[in-house]
Amino acid sequence: MFHEIFNKKVIGILGRPTVDFEDDKQVAILDDYRRAVIKKGCIPYIICPLADTKYVDQKRKNIPELTEDEKNTYRKIVDMCDGILITGGYSWYNYDEFVAKYAIEKDKPILGICMGMQLLASLDNNENCLKANSLISDFDHRQETKKYVHDVIINKNSYLGKIVNSEKIKVNSKHRYHVSKVNNFIITAYSTDGIPEAIELPNKKFVIGVQWHPEKMLEYDEYANKIFDEFVSKF
């Protein structure tokens, strides 16, 4: 375990292939995720794709399958991490899916945010569970800068309901797609226009996905802090 070396808990954060303004290829995480992990007294550890391929230049279906050596390396990385943070973004790849599946199998605490929630749902019910947000929604779910965009109604009997201890909270919102259905997961929260906003996997320490971005709300929102605090407490 990393924390035996550093005397701190380590959160593995799935890195996202991207490009900078000069079109240089990168693997990165948004700074809000890094800072959120640090605020909670943990060490952020970026989990990078191991294949020698240019992810952003290819369609997902053309990405090479994981080798057995890559799979074994990802298993060792997950084993060393205390928890896994699956971040938002625009696309995920086979290494994201493998890490998430293995972390669930090993009962590692997992927090999926925005696309991270969608990834968890897709593992449960393939990508047919995802839909584009309706243009006739009561409000626009993709608002980048507002601290609060809409209310979320939470099942008070769910794990998430017990964490926040409230049946309604206000959240930010910046997503183009949403989860429409699940199998083994449970939908535990909805926006007031009926879009699923949170899911959780029963009988695990902590496997929760939220459609909003609590990592951006830690400086001003008690419920965002409660979610991260519970996540970290399960290590």
Sign of CA dihedral 225, 35, 92, 130: positive
Q: Which of 48-57, 62-71, 121-130, 158-167 shows the lowest per-residue confidence on average (mean pLDDT)?
A: 121-130
Tell me the pLDDT band of 61, cut-offs 50, 70 and 90. Answer: confident
Domain span at residue 39 reads 2-125+180-188+201-233
Residue 195 belongs to some domain of the structure = no
Residue 65 belongs to some domain of the structure = yes
Residue 221 belongs to some domain of the structure = yes
What pLDDT is attached to residue 125?
Answer: 76
- Look up tokens 């459609």; give the residue: 211
Residue 137 belongs to some domain of the structure = no
Burial class from Cβ neighbours inside 10 Å (0-12, 13-18, 19+) for residue 126 reads exposed
- Which domain CATH number covers 9? 3.40.50.880
Number of folded domains that form the chain: 1
| CA nearest to 107, candidates 231, 202, 2, 204 | 204
Q: Does the pLDDT of residue 134 top 90, yes or no?
A: no
Tell me the pLDDT band of 58, cut-offs 50, 70 and 90. Answer: confident
Determine if the pTM surpasses 0.75.
yes
Q: Which helix (H) or strand (E) holds 25?
A: strand 25-28
Contact 32, 216 (CB under 8 A): yes
Q: Across residues 170-190, what is the average pLDDT?
A: 90
What pLDDT is attached to residue 135?
Answer: 45
Q: Does the pLDDT of residue 123 top 80, yes or no?
A: yes
Residue 171 belongs to some domain of the structure = no
Q: Does the pLDDT of residue 136 top 50, yes or no?
A: no
Beta strand 142-143 pairing with 173-174: antiparallel
pLDDT in tens, 199-222: 999 999 999 999 999 999 999 999
Q: What percent of the chain has pLDDT over 70?
A: 91
Residue 154 belongs to some domain of the structure = no
Looking at per-residue pLDDT, the higher value among 41 and 131 belongs to 41
